[in-house]
Amino acid sequence: MSESTPTTKFDLSAKVAIVTGGSRGIGQAAATALASAGAKVVIASRKPEPLEQAAAQIREHTGAEVLAVPAHTGDDEAVERVVERAVAEFGGVDILVNNAATNPHFGPILSSTDSHWDKTWEVNVKGYFRMARACVPQMSARGGGRIINLASVAGRRVQPGMGIYCVSKAAVVMLTQVLAVELADQKINVNALTPGFVKTKFSSAIWANEAISEAVMKAIPQHRMAAPEEIANLILFLASDESSFVTGSIIDIDGGQLAASGVNL
């Protein structure tokens, strides 16, 4: 058997991918990786201008077809619109990367309000469910697909001041496993990544604060944050045929943070 090159291993030609939260950070890096492997990509996020800028950057970098569809995943109609545009422009959906997330509350969980819970749950949990529900019929019609949910180490271990976010990401872990079991007979693989600290705008409150950043680095055996592209590499594997027997898995990508939990580094 001849050796496969990385390009052939992760060839996504003729595949169509949707990436939520695709205008920056992990979402943009994931969309770029999928497009580089040959996929046609739809990116979605709330704000049109940065979304169009991201689409232009991905097109320039990869030469791929990239469609920007402004949408809030907390809105049923907006979710349906994203999928409808993917089908109208590219013919279907094969890959869904659920990445859009929010964290409006920081502090003790009992200081949170119902509005904090509602906003977080609408995007971080129900948004993932809505996107999956809208994409599954399209995937099934094309013989199968891939759903990749971005959870977090915060869904596995308590992170101070991030209680609602932690609960929402724990829910993503269980949602992933429920969907994996229920969709297996449709040849749809569903997996989740639990990234640790990734240097993005979303995490800037951590890395921009020297005292907090120093404490975080001490908890990570590699003593660094990840680059978005490092998360995107694993997303690419899960989107490809090379991951055909991987479903219902929760994959840590955290520089050893969870393994070292409780260890004095």
Provide the whole-model pTM: 0.92
Residue at 1 is within a domain = no
Residue at 249 is within a domain = yes
Q: What is the pLDDT of residue 211?
A: 67
Residue at 215 is within a domain = yes
Q: What's the CATH number where 149 sits?
A: 3.40.50.720
Residue at 165 is within a domain = yes
What is the residue range of 10's domain? 6-253
Tell me if residue 128 is catalytic.
no
Catalytic annotation, pick one of 90, 128, 129, 165: 165
Q: What is the pLDDT of residue 217?
A: 80
Residue at 87 is within a domain = yes
Check if the beta carbon of residue 22 is closer than 8 Å to that of residue 43.
yes
Residue at 172 is within a domain = yes
Residue at 260 is within a domain = no
How many structural domains does the chain have? Answer: 1
Mean pLDDT of residues grouped by 10 in the chain (265 residues)?
51 97 96 98 97 98 97 96 98 98 95 98 98 98 98 93 96 98 98 92 64 77 92 97 97 94 70
Residue at 264 is within a domain = no
Q: What is the pLDDT of residue 84?
A: 98
